Structure 1
Amino acid sequence: MTQTDAAAAARPVLNPATGEVIQTVADSTIAEVDDAVRTARAAFTGGPWPALPRSERARHLLRAADAVESAAETLYRLETRNNGRPITETRAQLSRVPEWFRYNAGLLAAQRDAVLPSDGPYLTYQRRAPLGVCGIITPFNHPLLILARSLSAALATGNTVVVKPSETTPLSTLALVEVLREAGLPDGVVNVVTGGRDVGEHLTAHPGVAKITLTGGTEAGRAAAVATAARFARVTAELGGKTPILVFDDADPAAAAEGAAFAAFVAAGQSCVAGSRFLVQRGIHDEFVAALARRAESIRIGDPADPATRLGPLISAVQRDRVLRMIDVGVEEGARLVTGGGVPGDLPGPLRGGFYVRPTVLAGATNAMRVAQEEIFGPVAVVVPFDDEDDAVAKANDNRYGLGAGVWTRDVARAHRVADRLVAGMVWVNDHHRLEPSLPWGGTKESGTGRDAGTESFDDFTWIKTVVVRTAADDADWYGRDEPGRLN
């Protein structure tokens, strides 16, 4: 494994809870991105990794899982300090990272090549081969979980990798790669480049990269799709979202509001599947809004390193200010500010330089408002009333995104019926944000293309070769026959 030694200017990495610099990390130069790809290519073509027996690669992944588990406490605290997510959330999320390595090790050990039906004296089968060098570009909000999701599948299938973490949150990625190195992963198999948009664009367009997996904004995903299409490389892109949560009047409004609060405010709303658009049937609308507001007001804001904290800061001052502007836009459009808005006024001294926004509820909104259509990426819940099932589904699907959706109802038939009609890659019923290594993760429309996790991701890091073997005893002499027979 190699992290390029950057010669470019150092970039300050901030603690968003205080606004203070944690350390500086040098941006990789374009030449160093090229070097990282060459190193990964050399490890693929001349190194042992792709040629290892499946059982041996699986053992490497299992050792990696154990090593990550042993380093968990260090990784939890580092990621919390770097992206501001409360330590309780980070610990709950990152404790699951080893599962992805173990799951893909299991897929590798159990992988079978397909034998295909073929007429005549032929044995036809398929082989899967690794793609080569794969680029993984990760976001600031869930750096290690999203990295592990793609990295484990790419490594299991025999690829080598160049990772580019978000320039705002590179620290836990750098630490994880060191953990993998110490666990015995061969040199050159995983490489890291650091920096901003120019580094990511160069990696995405690099002719030596066979696949890009990107999690980020829709415009970044669109650019990646164009760049990879020019050379027929593959791309998996998990992009933006404006997740609708449909709450029907047979649901308990207080229980639904508890679930809504988690959907809207976990990770300070900085998640592509954050429940940011709550479509609530009119019969329970007011009761739901009141319960959600009470829960929002009770959420403890503070130091992410404190286990009592339930809501941390946004990633940057720029994002904080954008979220505050969007709240103002919602009020200007006619939505009612029920609670929240603004920054907390009672934070202790060191946290006053942090990038906090109070959990916010906007009610009385319409589905046409910007706050109901655009991704805010902050702790803002927008509540829109609906009349009946058809109205709810129409409003839910009336958006350019299609990543996630949620349904709250006690009616089992309705749950299945509505889930089937929603245009979203993932639908949760009476819950939110549930994920497993076996569950494909991704969306439709402007929420991206392809899937992370599951067998879908594992298979997409390979290409298929079909082998046809003639088993007949006679020669295949087409021109020497009186009646050549069928031409395939």
Structure 2
Amino acid sequence: MTSVTPVTPRHREDAQATRDILDPATTAVIATVPEHTAADVHAAVARAKTAFDTGPWPAMVRSERAKLLLRIADAIEANSERLFRLETRNNGRPITETRAQLSRVPEWFRYNAGLLAAQRNAVLPGDGPYLTYQRRQPLGVCGIITPFNHPMLILARSLSAALANGNTVVVKPSELTPLTTLALAEILAETGVPDGVVNVVTGGREAGVALTEHPDVAKITLTGGTEAGRSASVATAARFARMTAELGGKTPVVVFDDVDPVTAAEGAAFAAFIAAGQSCVAGSRFLVQRGIYDKFVDRLAARAKNIRVGDPSESGTQMGPVISARQRDKIVALIRTGADEGARLAAGGPPELPDHLAEGFFVAPTVFADATMDMAVAREEIFGPVAVVVPFDAEADAVAMANDNLYGLGAGVWTTDVARAHRVADAIVAGMVWVNDHHRLEPSLPWGGVKESGIGKDAGTESFDDFSWVKTIVVRTSDSSVDWYGASAETRLN
């Protein structure tokens, strides 16, 4: 495990199990990291608890903690070239995407530093000679479990808020993409984060379960699949720990016939195919009004066919591989299912690749047209570059179809009618709704879904506040004695 230091083996006589980390574009081994066990997680939590109970971090003056968060942001910026190239190699996103995304990571540290510096404690109204006020206290040890698709960005959202509030942290990145998390741990150490405040464990399910079940972990923030979130929720509920979970999604994008179909289709391509569709809010089912349906499908299919799939390290590449053979095979199986169910394949098929990428985990951008809402491709989360287009007639039909799903993380609406935009955005059951855009994020925007897309919020003041607990303090300001049993009722009330 690491404690803002490079990975070190456990002090055991038996050999430390390890895991090879692959480049998903070539399947080459690019690193080997420890496969940490439950015992390693327990040691990391113990270290974080000691740092919280006896270390300087929770007691640090708020302005000093805020300054350190700002230094962390500056250090991430200074290392951005190394970080985005490392993330591209580890998770296969084109370098243009990782450069754009990681360039925004410092914003989360600066935002939460600002919230910390501006934080006020409430004074509460009440009757009688009392001053009642509140103070926020750090939770203690917080566990952060991050996914493979946006390792640095998703970690920064929770880590910056946890640290701002004075908590200590144990991070378990995806077993497939730990490299930028380990690099960030080194940056934190160099920036001056005290030892034991941030700890990283690498490994798979055993490490994740041990972290969610540990009795000394006061909060878990998890981004992952719905079943993993369900298990973690049960574990945290058993000890009344806090839980924030961003889980699955099947994002509906409603396209009305008052928009230009070419503009909407180009926006749809961005919604569906960025990160090779490996995003919980990727536009995956497009509900398109019949008046522009054919033109929209034609343009989206043409755009999909022209996306340059290839080596993610090359600047001209527009889509890289998916993360693993397992994920690729799942996506391909669902594509076959869509064809078997009767959806029309408007774009897709095996991607054309150079020899050195022949073993990589690539899936071509795929568009299914003429789908219906009872098809698996229109209902199940695919988590790959697959867009499913379903026609609709009336606004009410579109809203009903958008909400006809287990998930409720994100949604999109394309229309030039201002009243309709607000009306439909309000009617769709989702934690985030974009109008005439997609994937737009800011540190101030609360992020999280409803239904089986999870609970709680990342980012925004909601996330910042949830990494602390509120203590209410009541101070009696009267100089009269307190003699409940000997005094009159009038005296007791004063």
TM-score band (shorter)? over 0.9
Q: Secondary structure at the match of 1:285?
A: helix
Shift of 1:481: 1.3
**1:389-408 equivalence runs, <5 A:** 389-408=395-414
Q: Is the 8 A contact 1:4 1:36 kept in 2?
A: no
CA distance in 2, matches of 1:273, 1:95: 20
**1:30-179 equivalence runs, <5 A:** 30-179=38-187
Out of 171, 182, 196, the position equivalent to 1:188 is 196
1:6-25 CA-to-partner distances (Å, cap 9, x unmatched) read 45311110000011111211
| AA at the equivalent of 2:390 | V
Cα root mean square deviation, aligned:
1.1
CA distance in 2, matches of 1:481, 1:17: 81
| AA at the equivalent of 1:5 | P
Q: Secondary structure at the match of 1:60?
A: helix
Pairing 1:440–2:446 present = yes
Q: Secondary structure at the match of 1:478?
A: coil
Match of 1:14 in 2: 22
Shift of 1:482: 2.1
Match of 2:487 in 1: 481
Match of 1:413 in 2: 419
Shift of 1:486: 7.3
Q: Is the 8 A contact 1:4 1:28 kept in 2?
A: no
Out of 449, 453, 466, the position equivalent to 2:455 is 449
| AA at the equivalent of 2:484 | W
Pairing 1:5–2:9 present = yes
Shift of 1:480: 1.6
Q: Is the 8 A contact 1:135 1:203 kept in 2?
A: yes
Of all paired residues, the percent bearing the same amino acid is 74
**1:200-211 equivalence runs, <5 A:** 200-211=208-219
CA distance in 2, matches of 1:477, 1:127: 29
Q: Is the 8 A contact 1:478 1:484 kept in 2?
A: no
Structure 2's unaligned 5+ residue stretches are none
1:222-248 CA-to-partner distances (Å, cap 9, x unmatched) read 000000000000000000000000000
Q: Is the 8 A contact 2:52 2:167 kept in 1?
A: yes
Q: Is the 8 A contact 1:143 1:165 kept in 2?
A: yes
CA distance in 2, matches of 1:138, 1:115: 37
Q: Secondary structure at the match of 1:276?
A: strand
Out of 289, 292, 303, the position equivalent to 1:295 is 303
Q: Secondary structure at the match of 2:217?
A: coil
Q: Is the 8 A contact 2:9 2:16 kept in 1?
A: no
Match of 2:432 in 1: 426
Q: TM-score, normalised by structure 1?
A: 0.98
Shift of 1:475: 1.5
Q: Is the 8 A contact 1:134 1:159 kept in 2?
A: yes
**1:338-357 equivalence runs, <5 A:** 338-341=346-349, 343-344=350-351, 346-357=352-363
- Give aligned pairs, total: 486
Match of 1:23 in 2: 31
Out of 446, 465, 471, the position equivalent to 2:471 is 465
Change (3 A) 1:148 1:271: same
After TM superposition, the runs of 4+ consecutive aligned structure 1 residues lying more than 6 A away are 485-488
Q: Is the 8 A contact 1:4 1:193 kept in 2?
A: no
Match of 1:199 in 2: 207
CA distance in 1, matches of 2:192, 2:288: 52
Structure 1's unaligned 5+ residue stretches are none
CA distance in 1, matches of 2:490, 2:246: 52
CA distance in 1, matches of 2:190, 2:479: 54
Change (3 A) 1:120 1:310: same
CA distance in 2, matches of 1:142, 1:326: 23
CA distance in 1, matches of 2:99, 2:49: 35
Match of 1:366 in 2: 372
Q: Secondary structure at the match of 1:124?
A: strand
Q: Is the 8 A contact 2:273 2:385 kept in 1?
A: yes
Shift of 1:476: 2.0
1:367-393 CA-to-partner distances (Å, cap 9, x unmatched) read 111111100000000001111110000
| AA at the equivalent of 2:83 | L
Q: TM-score, normalised by structure 2?
A: 0.97
Range 7-16 or range 275-284, more displaced: 7-16
CA distance in 1, matches of 2:191, 2:91: 26
Range 472-481 or range 90-99, more displaced: 472-481
CA distance in 1, matches of 2:249, 2:136: 33
Match of 1:274 in 2: 282
Pairing 1:335–2:343 present = yes
Shift of 1:484: 5.2
CA distance in 2, matches of 1:247, 1:33: 47
Q: Is the 8 A contact 2:37 2:206 kept in 1?
A: no
Q: Is the 8 A contact 2:484 2:492 kept in 1?
A: no
1:111-137 CA-to-partner distances (Å, cap 9, x unmatched) read 000001111111100000000000000
| AA at the equivalent of 1:460 | D
Change (3 A) 1:415 1:472: same
Shift of 1:5: 2.5
Shift of 1:210: 0.4
1:255-286 CA-to-partner distances (Å, cap 9, x unmatched) read 00000000000000000000000000011111
Pairing 1:245–2:249 present = no
CA distance in 2, matches of 1:108, 1:311: 38
